[in-house]
Chains A and B, each alone.
Chain A
């Protein structure tokens, strides 16, 4: 790998993070099902569904939950293409690869013998692999739909209303804000380095360059934290954090949370 492709791949990672954030902002502003609900109902409802998927032990019930997640995504105007690209293919590629050997390694009743590989797929192996892939797909779909349909600030307020300490919520909010600033700073440093790189850097030089960039970023982060601290002090910060949670539940929210609870409860009960 030459210096160019190594820097390029890091910068592509930065661009993907920005694209994801932008996609979330756009999807969250759509007029869909989830977007119309109170953020607390969205967070709690989807969280209940994810937990029910994790607790469920039957393939067909998990498949039904996946279908429900897809219906929620469609009604919330989440693009199926982006969901497939962002979740389904990624999970299939990663978890599918991890689950594949389980077909052969899991001891149990033989189902199918692969003649050229001298290996036997067991019933238990097939179920284990299918359960893992399906469960991860369903949970990731639900989580992604929630993330896409909810502004970050609303997720934080919902977490706060679930009694997460105010300090933690504030730190999550600040971190999220400065992630994009630091990504932009790191991106500019890499761009600057790339524009001054002629020829091929050897591995040692590439590592030194990465570490130096990280070191500069650390120094800038500490300086930034000091500036933020002074700004907070100037606004009267004295160590106590207060956050407004001005959400109001409507009739539709009560109906939605009931549906989420019933669906999750049934999945756990039937799929036990």
Chain B
């Protein structure tokens, strides 16, 4: 099913590169969003695993053998998005390093096997396995059916890509320029081999692996979210949501600030120099200070310093706002904004963000 260079026209190759690139972009964004730093080693090693599994000769009924792609197990364990990346990487190395499959047709091969194969395998597996227990035999059956369906869906796509070539790409005398067989020849010819051998190889390896994992390593059947270290990585979104909750609390507290003006008098010790001259305030100071009378005049130092700095919002309310409650909320918002700006400035000074032009920081 690895289409070599020369079987498909340049425009077909370009269109399928665009389709695959969309899948790669979406997959990379999704899986990076879920796994962040764990993505690269997990997908890379899984791609290496898929590559090696593609080399396994799977014995088939009748004494022959076939090769599996490994897309079904990848879709079950990594999910469809992770599977797209892992199988695409394996196919790219086959094409670029081992010369199996073309370079111009890499987009087509990835679209057929990695993108469509992963989604078909995942959808069929989920549909057949439904919510059965991980140890259920139904899951073995589901994996087998999913593998068979995925490989045949990929083969059908490849057959269609072959089959449209002579219709659209031929010379003035009708000679096909690329794959020479029309759809009514290409589809049966391609599907015969896949419905009988390649599909069975993928079904056998998928069902057999799920059966083995049920006995030996059932945790892998729960998908990447159940890997112990990935579970830790997945706590990142939870941290984001708790940060969201924190913002909610801050907003609520800001809205509740008018409650502060319901409290009678001035907080103990927060008196101004002018309060010492007001009899009403003096009585409050005395009442809140265990009946100790306030001095007749403000302390000299306090009087001197009170003129050094005048608050922009005295008593938490700007002068131009008449409603005390609204003034309190405005002051709270202003204060929170100042604190946030200060925090960001402090962070930017202390934490040096990596610059893209620096030397290699990561050695894998």
Contacts and interface: CB of A to CB of B under 8 A. Distances in A.
Contacts of B175: 106, 108, 123-125, 127-128, 131
B58 interface: yes
Given A167-B28, A242-B360, A222 B205 contact: no
Interface stretch (A32-40, A176-184, A259-267): A176-184
Contact of A55 (B10, B40, B77, B362): B10
A143 B65 contact: no
A53 B102 CA distance: 13
Contact of B208 (A50, A152, A182, A207): A207
Nearest to B227: A222
Contact of B49 (A135, A176, A221): A221
A5 to B, nearest CB: 9
A128 B205 CA distance: 38
Contacts of B96: 147, 155, 172
A139 B6 contact: yes
Interface in B158-179: 166, 171, 173-179
B59 A6 contact: yes
Interface stretch (B85-93, B271-279, B333-341): B85-93
Nearest to B99: A144
Interface string B28-45: 100010001111111111
Contacts of A132: 6-7, 178-180
Contacts of B53: 214, 217
Given A143-B5, A179-B48, A172 B92 contact: yes
A167 B32 CA distance: 10
Contacts of A147: 96-99
B204 interface: yes
A132 B169 CA distance: 13
B229 A175 contact: no
Contacts of B180: 99, 102, 105-106, 125, 128-129, 132
B65 A9 contact: yes
Contact of B358 (A47, A170, A242): A242
Nearest to B52: A182
A175 B356 contact: no
A77 B268 CA distance: 91
B56 interface: yes
Contacts of A21: 97
Interface in A87-136: 87, 91, 95, 99, 101-102, 105-109, 123-125, 127-129, 131-132, 135-136
Contact of A136 (B4, B73, B227, B229): B4
A251 interface: no
A99 B166 CA distance: 13
Contacts of A239: 36-37
A31 to B, nearest CB: 22
A210 B208 contact: yes
Contacts of B212: 211-212, 214-216
B41 A225 contact: yes
A131 B41 CA distance: 42
A182 to B, nearest CB: 5
Contact of A179 (B52, B179, B359): B52
B217 to A, nearest CB: 5
A6 to B, nearest CB: 5
A70 interface: no
Contacts of A136: 4-7
B173 A123 contact: yes
A184 to B, nearest CB: 10
B362 A9 contact: no
A109 B53 CA distance: 47
Which of B13, B49, B363 is packed against the most chain A CB atoms within 10 Å? B49
B205 A214 contact: yes
A248 interface: no
A176 B204 CA distance: 26
Given A54-B5, A108-B174, A174-B45, 17 more contacts: A9-B57, A107-B174, A123-B173, A124-B174, A135-B6, A136-B7, A139-B104, A143-B99, A143-B103, A207-B204, A210-B56, A212-B208, A218-B77, A226-B227, A229-B38, A237-B362, A242-B359
28 contacts: A13-B55, A17-B98, A47-B103, A50-B103, A54-B5, A54-B9, A54-B104, A124-B173, A125-B180, A132-B180, A139-B102, A139-B104, A143-B102, A143-B103, A165-B28, A174-B40, A175-B44, A177-B48, A207-B59, A210-B56, A211-B209, A215-B216, A218-B77, A219-B213, A219-B217, A235-B363, A239-B36, A240-B354
Interface of A: 1, 6, 9-10, 13-14, 17, 20-21, 24, 47, 50-51, 53-55, 57, 86-87, 91, 95, 99, 101-102, 105-109, 123-125, 127-129, 131-132, 135-136, 138-140, 143-144, 147, 152, 155, 165, 167-168, 170-179, 181-183, 186, 203, 206-208, 210-219, 221-222, 224-226, 228-230, 232-233, 235-244
CB-CB nearest 10 A-B residue pairs: A211-B208, A215-B212, A139-B5, A174-B44, A135-B6, A225-B45, A124-B175, A136-B6, A206-B59, A102-B180
